[in-house]
Amino acid sequence: MSIQTVTRRYLLAALSTGPLLTRAAWAKAASGQAGTDRTAWYREAKFGMFIHWGPYSLASVEASWPIMRPSKEFPITEEQYRSLPRQFNPTKFDPHAWIALAKSAHQRYMVFTTKHHDGFCMFDSAYTDYKITNTPYKKDIVAQLAEACGRETMPLGFYYSPPDMNHPAFRDTSKLSSTNWNGEPTRAVWPTYLDYMELQLRELLTRYGDVVLIWFDGLYNQRKFDGERMHRAILEMQPPTLINNRIGIPGDFETPEQFLPASIPVKGKTLDFNHKDTGSQPNYVPAPEEFRLWETCMTINNTWAYNKSDRDFKSSQHLIRTLVEVASRGGNFLLNVGPQPDGTIQPEFAERLHAIGKWMDHNSESIHGTTYGPVQGLPSVRTTAKGRDVFIHVFDWPAAALELTAENLPKFRSARLLATGQSLDFHQKDRRLTLKLPAQAPDPDVSVIAMRAAV
């Protein structure tokens, strides 16, 4: 029996289990018109943990790319890469330890790589043998993580790669991945691959409890993956699930990668996920209805997957300031960890997450539930806002008073240091705010001043 016939039969069986979402209903759900705002939790969370993990961690190579774009940086053949699952046995994997680490850093959601571009599934998919339950470990990693997140009320999202180097309907697998890793949508079997994608998405959204978001990573020519079809399937199964913008249609949020947009993203101006935004209006403060939801994902060192040779770690101060930068432009910060082959998270990552957590212990009010602030584009100050409060994040503590000028500053009635509660004297006239500050910065990383606006 052909692969097309088998996949189609599975798909028809899956589709027969429930009503299909009409195009109109899908459009309504995707636009947030169905019930409460689907993005409310996400806007409040602001800070999450990204997790790239799979058999590739055994070789200290990046996920998938060594077979797609071979280089001297990761000297491994495709045959060697493909053999890694036969050795993968992460006996120290403890999902509760991951969750405890995320919570210590005040991260409020997790996004886990269920399948990267290599096609290896970290869940027990019925539609492939290239999966975690066929390794020496044998157990379903996604199931364990989902169960733990459910117990500990940690919202969980799934990264799912539309490209798949292992599937013969995605590309001719008799050739090396480096020759056709963008897929071959002109081949007659391409519809079979789209069926496979939908079947796996249905597994992920019906077997593992609530899935708060699907994080596609469609690489190039994303429209070949029929994003509307995949969106409809996702929202049919779990209408609240958010979907990113990497499958050929806008989705719920933008995803700049390893960089921050220089200005606040607005609707109608799409960010290229892997090219830096020049930001023509860094001082511009858009109206709420103009704002485009976004999230930047970043690594702690230079690689997404575990790499024992990559010792170029960002400092905790750098990461704290990046979190502030992201929040000051209304975005979410998805900070990646690549667990070690045994399932534990390396000490250097844990140390930095704990340091962020200590800063957040005193300053999380200025991050969670906030949006972009009224002052933008200054080199040493960032602002966030929440209700009647404006939070001024000071990177470089001034020797004298702090002066801010902005068109839309509200009239304030009080000011205090967020970490200590100390009240501050200030003067406000027209568009200018002058704050009298202590001689020493309260925090060496970022000091926060909470301003309360008058009614």
Euclidean distance between CA atoms 131 and 67, whole angstroms: 18
The runs of H, that is alpha helices, within 105-189 are 141-151, 177-180
Please check whether residue 46 is in contact with residue 333, taking contact to mean a CB–CB distance below 8 angstroms.
Answer: yes
Euclidean distance between CA atoms 324 and 444, whole angstroms: 14
The runs of H, that is alpha helices, within 284-364 are 316-328, 347-363
Predicted local distance difference test score (pLDDT) of residue 277: 60
Euclidean distance between CA atoms 453 and 220, whole angstroms: 46
Euclidean distance between CA atoms 130 and 176, whole angstroms: 17
C-beta atoms surrounding 333 within 10 Å: 24
Euclidean distance between CA atoms 89 and 76, whole angstroms: 20
Mean pLDDT split into 10-residue runs, the chain, 455 residues: 46 43 42 64 98 98 98 95 98 98 98 98 98 98 98 98 98 98 98 98 98 97 98 98 97 96 89 61 89 98 98 98 98 98 98 98 98 94 97 94 90 96 95 94 97 92
Residue 441 is given by DSSP the state -
Residue 56 in tokens = 């590739």
* Cα separations in angstroms, 214 against 31, 157, 161, 202, 244: 16, 6, 10, 12, 7
For the chain, list the domains and their CATH numbers. Answer: 3-370 (3.20.20.80), 373-453 (2.60.40.1180)
